[in-house]
Amino acid sequence: MARILVVDDDPAVQITIRLLLERAGHGVVVASDGQKGVAAFENGDFDLLFLDIFMPGMDGIETMRHIHRQRPEVPIIVISGRPLVQDAAKEPDFLAMAIKLGAVSSLPKPFKPAALLELVGNCLAARDRNVASQR
């Protein structure tokens, strides 16, 4: 199946995503921050990337910019567990902003396992169609 990089600073999220993806037959590498994620990406050949937006040090947006410069064809799914606020209308929609900056999809935390697996399948199928149409 696919090789997937998961970049998230929350160990519980890392474990959850890794287990779901591995049970679905994918190979998974986990990084705990943006800098480690970029280093893992540079040393591996990945088909898909899960990227948390809010991390200490290099955040997800900056990480995404580095990765897009190297391999813009690799699909990125951004994830975020932004806490609910009283006036959500004044809070920027960071997941939507990340899509505008190049992510192919987003997944808010907490997520349902079926939603994550469906999103992975859709992203990989779209990537495969794009590769086939460029030949």
Tokens 């806490």, located at residue: 83
pLDDT in tens, 28-82: 999 999 999 999 999 999 999 999 999 999 999 999 999 999 999 999 999 987 6
pLDDT of residue 96 exceeding 90, the answer is: no
Instruction: Write down how long the chain is.
Output: 135
Decide if 9 contacts 52 (C-beta within 8 A).
Answer: yes
pLDDT of residue 127: 83
The two three-digit tokens of residue 81, written as one number: 């567990």
Residue type, 91: E
Q: What is the pLDDT of residue 89?
A: 56
Tell me the CB-side half-sphere exposure of residue 5, using CA atoms within 13 A. 27
CATH number of this structure's domain 3-133, picked from the four choices 3.40.50.300, 3.40.50.2300, 3.40.50.800, 3.40.50.720: 3.40.50.2300
Structure tokens at 36: 């480690």
Q: Which residues pair with 31 in a beta bridge?
A: 7
The helix/strand/coil state of 31 is strand
Section 112-126 average pLDDT: 94
Give the N- to C-terminal CA distance of the chain in Å, as an integer.
21
What separation in angstroms does the CA of 99 have from each of 40, 60, 95, 104, 120?
22, 12, 6, 6, 16
Q: Over 60: is that where the pLDDT of 84 sits?
A: no
> Which pLDDT does position 81 carry in this prediction?
79
